[in-house]
């Protein structure tokens, strides 16, 4: 195991561990999956953004995303400017996200037999 395999809060002391958010995500994940399925179905209805397409399956899988750590900046910091103030009313978050899902998204074009599928999606990274 390498240091980079550990959660960010282990080697960055100013990054907060957010296990309570992960527990919350696990509890709301079944409802969130259903809401996304409904939203994708509504988008393919008459007048929807994806009219002319049809989702034959819209499962995001049983595994929810996991947050490895969150850092909240009082000042916006980037490589270009080391400490410029964030805009008024702006909250800057650095979020470490990992999601390995056995999703099944199957989109088909209504006319000709054109099909696009996404299965076994894996996302990992932190916000810049």
- Compute the distance between CA of residue 44 and CA of residue 51 in angstroms, rounded to an integer: 5
Please tell me which residue, 103 or 74, carries the higher pLDDT value.
103
pLDDT of res. 2: 61
105 neighbors 58 (Cβ within 8 angstroms): yes
Please say if the pLDDT value at position 81 is more than 50: no
The pLDDT tens digits of the residues spanning 89-123 come to 677 788 888 899 888 888 888 666 788 888 888 88
The pLDDT tens digits of the residues spanning 3-13 come to 566 666 666 67
Token pair recorded at residue 73: 């900046």
Domain enclosing residue 11, as ranges? 3-126
- Compute the distance between CA of residue 105 and CA of residue 116 in angstroms, rounded to an integer: 8
As a whole number, the mean pLDDT across the chain is 79
Q: Indicate the number of domains in the chain.
A: 1
| Predicted structure pTM score | 0.67
């Amino acid at each position: 195991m390498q240091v980079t395999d550990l959660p960010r809060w282990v080697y960055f002391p100013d990054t907060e561990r957010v296990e309570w958010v992960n527990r919350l995500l696990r509890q709301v994940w079944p409802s969130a999956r259903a809401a996304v399925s409904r939203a994708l179905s509504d988008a393919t209805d008459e007048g929807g953004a994806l009219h002319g397409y049809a989702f034959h399956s819209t499962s995001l899988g049983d595994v929810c995303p996991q947050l490895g750590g969150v850092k909240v900046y009082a000042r916006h910091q980037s490589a270009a400017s080391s400490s410029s103030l964030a805009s008024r009313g702006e909250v800057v978050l650095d979020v470490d996200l990992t999601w390995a899902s056995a999703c099944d998204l199957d989109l088909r074009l209504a006319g000709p037999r054109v099909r696009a599928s996404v299965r076994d999606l894996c996302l990992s990274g932190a916000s810049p």
